[in-house]
Structure 1
Amino acid sequence: MVSHLTMVYRQGQFKRPGGWLPDNPRVHIKWTRELLAELEERRQSRGALRADDRAWPVQDFDRVVKSSARFRMLAAAMLIEVPNKEPYASDPVGTSTIRDYEELLDAFDLIVKAKAPQWSMSEFNSNMIGFPFNAILDRPMATPSGYAFFLEPQINEKLKLILNAWRDNVLSTEKSLHVISTASNGWLNEKSLKIIEDETNVDGRHLKFTELFDCDPIRDPAHWGFTSWDDFFVRRFKDIDTIRPVHFPTDTKWIANSCESLPFARQTEVKEYDSFWLKGQPYSVAEMLNCEPRYTSRFVGGTVYQAFLSAMSYHRWHSPVKGDIVHATVIDGTYFSEPMITDFNSTEDSQGYICHVATRAVFIIDTKDPVIGLVGAVYVGMADVSTCEILEKFRGSLPVAVEKGEEIGMFHHGGSTHSLLFEKKVRLAWVSEASPETATRNIPIRSALAYAYAAV
């Protein structure tokens, strides 16, 4: 049982739900070795990188690590310990490529300054390294020392600065435009677009990328009107009211799907506090909502629905209900933390866990409908997905009215997972597609998700 960004081991095969890292370990190993070769080439041409030559957030991270014997010990140990999970447990050498703390800092520096995720369909038929930081931390984050290191608030504070610098220096700038192209390593090549189209056309239509999303391949054949990697990943539907209409827009008891996502879990009678870090990952409402006393009690005993976004998904959030947004905030949390669970033959992954500890945006919506009451919406970022943006309209003085299906925010650099919370009194009849046990495709955003009715 590991994070959805790391591996889930299923019947002798590895699967990474979400598609941000390749299923085949050999692709991951090859990418990391190529990164190390690039670092070595940089050393050969420029000499050893001095500490003060590294990007300032990397220097800041290093300063904090070296300010504490505990941090320094954990940072060193996590790079040489072998994770108690496959494929690492049976191959302790082959996948151990970054084993030195200074080398890790140099890898951080290289990514922050220049690396934009490239599309690739390798000889192993596995697509990409969409999360380069997660790729180099995949092994250390699953070690005993890594479990401790990546829960530390000071460490996460500095990781946030590193990830934000990467976003501001590369992902949101022209430096990343070379990967938004029709070249073989570009996100607009035929194979990449086919995967996006297949994942988006979940309603039986066969629309092309240019029909689905805002883009301009005629005026800008090089980049189709996109200005950066981030601009491509927060792309808008060309005509959302046609492509993703709001189902039952005037019926307040119909809940709309809030993210283009695949169902992951539904739990009822959730507790205020529960052992979310253990097998089964029960939801712990107080910690999901950052112990917000005004609202936690309203959802204790209620229902939590969770679904996750893939690398190719639409990454904006839309309100599941009509009402007033009475609370909207971003909670800073972890970026590379996964639960310390040793049952790695489990078919589960740890998306429930990250709802309680990872960086996330939390909304509370008052539907003003006595049958539904309050609805909570939690949008969770993790690893390289470091920015949860609440739209400006909902960042000021609250309450603010919101329509069902109205856009309320977005993930930058992709997406992770989201949860909806319902009060104890609410009874819900779910559409058949919302069953985590049988779901195989994304549920379209703004489509019908569940119908709320009063208990008899």
Structure 2
Amino acid sequence: MLQQVPNAPPYDKNPTGGPQFRNWMELLCAFNHQLSQGPVWLYDTPGQQGLIGFPFNALLNWSMSTPAGLLAFHRSVVNAHLRDILTAYGNFLSSPASAAVLNSSATGWLSPTALDALVSTAWLPTNTTSSSDSEPRTNTRTPQPRPQFHDLFISNPHHPTHGFASWDAFFTRRFRPGIRPIASPSDDGVIVNACESTPIALERRVKLHDEFWVKRQPYSLVTILGSLNKDSDRDEDEKNGGRKKEEEEQLKQAMRFEGGTIYQGFLGALSYHRWHAPVSGVVEKVTKIHGTYFAGCPGLSSSRRGGLHDGDMEERKHDPSAPDRSQRYICQVGTRALVYIRARDRRLGTVVFVAVGMAEVSSCEVTVREGDMVEKGEEIGLFHYGGSTHCLIFEPGVRLKFTEAAEEVDVKRRGHNLPVNGYLAEVVSG
């Protein structure tokens, strides 16, 4: 797959401007080097901005849509080895040594340029309010002055690393209390945004099965919600013996949501990466699924001229931060965690939150357990080590009115982050 990447620009370098490796030995040496290096701040070019905080993704980017790459990154044995590599990388990023990149130099995450970008991503300059029966409304009060990083996030500006003990501690930073208020906290019919994210898809009447690998990337519920490779304490023999029963349970779970609604949002590397409950209710089920890490949608690699060296790579020029264009597909094949919440408002039924790990995100950590009662806006988990994507799945028959940014996502394509805990949708009676 490395040899199938063209030598001509821009593929002679990786999207961040670094070397494009042509053989496995060079690539593995680069992997080995990166395992003991935190991601530096590189934000000067579109490629660097698209892959900020994703050094492994940058090394593999162009190879993802080669014919060999499409096969390799979908193989379970390859993903098992990648999981081991990314787990080791995650261990380093959770160690004090990784805090070396938390400095104020030009390539440090605490440089004035980096802090300004982080504030720009998180700051909501216009005060808004929301209610259970309307879209968020602009408040006519004078906007507040632009805050500093420590005004938004729990941190210590007088400490050399702002008080963060590791890269991961910085990446999973928390907002200060009150920065992200919960929309309509007393109205269980209002759904809040589970992640600080940009809307990328809203689809109603979702099918149980669909050809999700095609370029259009429709959703296939039985694939999103089920896998025989999920975490378990059972040994291999028991897994094999219970395969049929598990398949039946997988189908049964998916059928509950056939004809329902899916909303999907994208989290960039500069965003806040903790998850919050979209509704109040009881945690019905928690499932973790081992899937792919660097796989893209095969449908995006095909063209009328039929080859990577023709129309394919012309398309890839516009996606130097792969697999961003495959996000709908990735939520069906990627490593992910599912949290089923039986809503307190019975009109909502059960809502599923799907956290999907893209590329370096080798850990989707769920912090609630089955049987827990959660309140809307309460933290339920977090992503480690990189940006990602997430979905909310609603049962059929649940009538929902979404915020305008979500309803018009296919028209606007890419907008700004919607605030976590902010108004996302509300259930409509009748």
Fold shared by both chains (TM-score > 0.5): yes
Supply the AA of the counterpart residue of 1:440. G
Q: 2:150 aligns with which of 198, 206, 210?
A: 210
Equivalence for 1:364: 340
Query: How far apart are the structure 2 equivalents of 1:354 and 1:267?
Result: 16
The answer to whether the 8 Å contact 2:282/2:372 transfers is yes
The Cα offsets for residues 215-265 of structure 1, whole Å up to 9 and x where unpaired, read as: 1122x2x111000110000000121xx111111111111110000000000
Equivalence for 1:117: 39
Equivalence for 1:257: 193
Alpha-carbon shift at residue 284 of structure 1 (Å): 0.5
- 1:299 aligns to what SS in structure 2? coil
Equivalence for 2:416: 441
CA RMSD of aligned residues (A): 2.1
The structure-2 alpha-carbon separation of the partners of 1:203 and 1:432, relative to structure 1 and needing over 3 Å to count, comes to: farther
- 1:349 aligns to what SS in structure 2? helix
Does residue 1:389 correspond to 2:312, yes or no? no
The Cα offsets for residues 299-347 of structure 1, whole Å up to 9 and x where unpaired, read as: 1101100010011100000000000011112211100101122255498
Query: How far apart are the structure 1 equivalents of 2:10 and 2:65?
Result: 14
The answer to whether the 8 Å contact 2:215/2:297 transfers is no
Query: How far apart are the structure 2 equivalents of 1:97 and 1:243?
Result: 42
Alpha-carbon shift at residue 417 of structure 1 (Å): 0.4
Alpha-carbon shift at residue 184 of structure 1 (Å): 1.4
Supply the AA of the counterpart residue of 1:245. P
Does residue 1:226 correspond to 2:201, yes or no? no
Query: How far apart are the structure 2 equivalents of 1:294 and 1:125?
Result: 43
Q: Structure 1: which 4+ aligned runs deviate by more than 4 Å?
A: 88-96, 123-129, 343-348
Q: 2:215 aligns with which of 269, 275, 279?
A: 279
Query: How far apart are the structure 2 equivalents of 1:186 and 1:92?
Result: 27
Equivalence for 2:393: 421
Q: 1:182 aligns with which of 104, 110, 125?
A: 104
Does residue 1:195 correspond to 2:117, yes or no? yes
Equivalence for 1:136: 59
The answer to whether the 8 Å contact 1:172/1:231 transfers is yes
The answer to whether the 8 Å contact 2:188/2:344 transfers is no
Equivalence for 2:272: 314
Does residue 1:145 correspond to 2:121, yes or no? no
- 1:429 aligns to what SS in structure 2? strand
The answer to whether the 8 Å contact 2:212/2:219 transfers is yes
Equivalence for 2:94: 172
Query: How far apart are the structure 1 equivalents of 2:105 and 2:265?
Result: 32
The Cα offsets for residues 180-229 of structure 1, whole Å up to 9 and x where unpaired, read as: 111211111111111111111125242211110011122x2x11100011
Query: How far apart are the structure 1 equivalents of 2:125 and 2:192?
Result: 16
- 1:243 aligns to what SS in structure 2? coil
- 2:256 aligns to what SS in structure 1? helix
Alpha-carbon shift at residue 79 of structure 1 (Å): 1.3
Query: How far apart are the structure 2 equivalents of 1:116 and 1:256?
Result: 33
Across the two proteins, how many residue pairs are aligned to each other? 364
Query: How far apart are the structure 1 equivalents of 2:34 and 2:52?
Result: 12
Moved more, 348-357 or 118-127: 118-127
The structure-2 alpha-carbon separation of the partners of 1:79 and 1:125, relative to structure 1 and needing over 3 Å to count, comes to: closer
The Cα offsets for residues 30-49 of structure 1, whole Å up to 9 and x where unpaired, read as: xxxxxxxxxxxxxxxxxxxx
Query: How far apart are the structure 2 equivalents of 1:194 and 1:304?
Result: 34
Query: How far apart are the structure 2 equivalents of 1:123 and 1:278?
Result: 30
Alpha-carbon shift at residue 294 of structure 1 (Å): 4.1
Alpha-carbon shift at residue 290 of structure 1 (Å): 1.4
- 1:138 aligns to what SS in structure 2? helix
After TM superposition, list the pairs within 5 Å mapping 1:399-410 onto structure 2: 399-410=371-382
The structure-2 alpha-carbon separation of the partners of 1:144 and 1:325, relative to structure 1 and needing over 3 Å to count, comes to: same
Alpha-carbon shift at residue 399 of structure 1 (Å): 1.6
Alpha-carbon shift at residue 102 of structure 1 (Å): 1.5
Query: How far apart are the structure 1 equivalents of 2:56 and 2:153?
Result: 28
The structure-2 alpha-carbon separation of the partners of 1:94 and 1:174, relative to structure 1 and needing over 3 Å to count, comes to: closer
Query: How far apart are the structure 2 equivalents of 1:447 and 1:123?
Result: 31
Query: How far apart are the structure 2 equivalents of 1:124 and 1:251?
Result: 42
Q: Which has the higher contact order (CA 8 A, sep 6+)?
A: 2
The answer to whether the 8 Å contact 1:202/1:441 transfers is no
- 1:163 aligns to what SS in structure 2? helix
The structure-2 alpha-carbon separation of the partners of 1:258 and 1:91, relative to structure 1 and needing over 3 Å to count, comes to: closer
Supply the AA of the counterpart residue of 1:453. V
The answer to whether the 8 Å contact 1:333/1:357 transfers is yes
Supply the AA of the counterpart residue of 2:78. I
The answer to whether the 8 Å contact 1:202/1:442 transfers is no
Equivalence for 1:73: none
The structure-2 alpha-carbon separation of the partners of 1:94 and 1:432, relative to structure 1 and needing over 3 Å to count, comes to: closer
Alpha-carbon shift at residue 171 of structure 1 (Å): 0.7
Query: How far apart are the structure 1 equivalents of 2:180 and 2:13?
Result: 46
TM-score (norm 2): 0.80
Alpha-carbon shift at residue 295 of structure 1 (Å): 2.3
The answer to whether the 8 Å contact 1:272/1:297 transfers is yes
The percent identity for this pair of structures is 41
The answer to whether the 8 Å contact 1:234/1:414 transfers is no
The answer to whether the 8 Å contact 1:260/1:444 transfers is yes
The structure-2 alpha-carbon separation of the partners of 1:92 and 1:433, relative to structure 1 and needing over 3 Å to count, comes to: closer
Query: How far apart are the structure 1 equivalents of 2:352 and 2:24?
Result: 41
The structure-2 alpha-carbon separation of the partners of 1:94 and 1:263, relative to structure 1 and needing over 3 Å to count, comes to: closer
Equivalence for 1:12: none
Query: How far apart are the structure 1 equivalents of 2:125 and 2:219?
Result: 31
Query: How far apart are the structure 1 equivalents of 2:267 and 2:116?
Result: 18
The structure-2 alpha-carbon separation of the partners of 1:124 and 1:235, relative to structure 1 and needing over 3 Å to count, comes to: closer
Equivalence for 2:132: none
Query: How far apart are the structure 1 equivalents of 2:366 and 2:40?
Result: 27
